[in-house]
């Protein structure tokens, strides 16, 4: 298989890339790791006239801590997250989750920001970013804007990013105090997309939950932020009845379909079970953190 013909540019600076998109954005596609885009081009599900390869733009591979955030550049690959000592310390849930994404070869090319922009409802990073309340930084020739991840996904493979914009980094607020997260994924075989996956993050104030994040993968038209299930936790101790109520609300927020990976009813139940397990795991981890 090979793609339909296209023009290819690999600009050396961000400004040059933004200039190309300002002119031809509607006919163009940005390429980062290409691990979702190239398969789509080969199947001819995407036939852009121009590919703007941002892979050679310097300064976008960083993962760094910066006033209350971790910033992850557009070219930081899955493998960079897997090996990041900083993230293992600050947001271990990301390092745990990345090992569930595809296989080592795809992780050597694919990027977190690319995954989020791709907006596959079965993608893992989207729900992790929803649980962590991340923000995306988007640049165009006209300037920069910061987009909260909640509301960024509009539908399968569609986001609020404009065709003249490049997402330059994602910012994740650092949890304060005692916090913990976990990621639970059901897949049919190593490297497969999720049948169901659930991302959890909690922050404690004493024994009570101060902040909670719950993101759902593969159970709707987009990655879903289970807000009612999050709210059911805030202000409470994580006792069994509180956990059960939140898990029930998360299952209600899921909108899965019957497919080869399972029935809708089964997937909803997996959400419920994963939220229960995940909250207990996240609580255990939060309690290990010294205040």
Ligand X SMILES: Cc1cc2nc3c(=O)[nH]c(=O)nc-3n(C[C@H](O)[C@H](O)[C@H](O)COP(=O)(O)OP(=O)(O)OC[C@H]3O[C@@H](n4cnc5c(N)ncnc54)[C@H](O)[C@@H]3O)c2cc1C
Residues that bind ligand X (CB under 6 A): 29-37, 39, 74, 101-102, 106, 109-111, 113-115, 117-118, 123-125, 161, 166-167, 191, 193
Residues in contact with 239: Cβ distance below 8 Å, sequence separation at least 6, in sequence order: none
* By CB under 8 A, residue 260 contacts other proteins: no
Is 134 one of the binding residues for other proteins (CB under 8 A)? no
Query: Which does residue 53 bind out of ligand X, other proteins, none, counting CB within 5 to 8 angstroms by kind?
Result: other proteins
DSSP code for 117? H
Residue 3 or 220 with smaller CB distance to other proteins: 3
CB nearer to ligand X: give 72 or 286. Answer: 72
CA distance 1 to 5: 12
- Encoded tokens for 51: 């590919």
Q: Is 35 in the site for other proteins (CB under 8 A)?
A: yes
14 near other proteins (CB under 8 A) = no
- How many degrees, rounded to 5, is the angle at CA 65 between CA 63 and CA 68? 140
- Is the CB of 32 or the CB of 271 nearer to ligand X? 32
Distance CA 218, CA 121 (A): 5
Query: In Å, what is the CA distance from 54 to each residue of 12, 40, 108, 141?
Result: 8, 18, 16, 15
Number of residues that bind other proteins (CB under 8 A): 28
Q: Which does 10 bind (CB under 5 to 8 A by kind): ligand X, other proteins, none?
A: other proteins
The Cα–Cα gap between 177 and 174 comes to 10
Query: Which residues 6+ apart lie within 8 Å of 121 measured at CB?
Result: 153, 156, 217, 218, 220, 221, 222, 223
Is 51 near other proteins (CB under 8 A)? yes
103 touches other proteins by CB under 8 A:
yes
Q: How far is the CB of 85 from other proteins (least distance, A)?
A: 15
Residue 16 binds which entry of other proteins, ligand X, none, CB below 5-8 Å type-dependent: none
SS3 73: strand
């Amino acid at each position: 298989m090979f793609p339909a013909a296209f023009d290819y540019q690999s600009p050396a600076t961000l400004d040059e890339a933004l200039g190309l998109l300002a002119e031809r954005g509607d006919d163009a596609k940005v390429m980062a790791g290409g691990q979702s885009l190239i398969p789509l081009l080969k199947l001819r599900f995407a036939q852009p006239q121009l590919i703007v390869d941002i892979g050679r733009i310097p300064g976008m591979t960083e993962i760094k801590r910066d006033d209350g955030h971790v910033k992850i550049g557009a070219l930081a690959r899955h493998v960079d997250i897997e090996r990041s000592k900083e993230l293992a310390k600050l947001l271990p849930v990301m390092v745990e989750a990345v090992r569930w994404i595809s296989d080592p070869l795809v992780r050597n090319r694919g990027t977190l920001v690319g995954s989020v922009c791709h907006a596959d409802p079965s993608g893992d990073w989207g729900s992790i970013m929803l649980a962590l309340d991340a923000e995306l930084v988007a640049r165009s020739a006209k300037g920069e804007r910061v987009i909260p991840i909640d509301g960024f996904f509009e539908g399968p493979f569609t986001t609020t990013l404009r065709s003249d914009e490049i997402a330059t980094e994602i910012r994740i607020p650092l949890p304060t105090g005692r916090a913990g997260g976990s990621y639970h994924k059901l897949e049919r075989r190593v490297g497969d997309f999720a049948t169901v996956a659930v991302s959890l993050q909690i922050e404690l104030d004493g024994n009570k939950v101060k902040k909670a994040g719950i993101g759902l993968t593969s159970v709707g038209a987009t990655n879903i932020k289970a807000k009612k299930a999050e709210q059911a936790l805030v202000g409470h101790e994580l006792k069994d009845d509180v956990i059960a109520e939140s898990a029930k609300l998360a299952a209600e927020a899921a909108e899965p379909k019957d497919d080869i990976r399972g029935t809708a009813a089964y997937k909803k139940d997996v959400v419920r079970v994963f939220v229960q397990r995940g909250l207990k795991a996240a609580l255990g981890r939060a309690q290990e953190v010294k205040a």
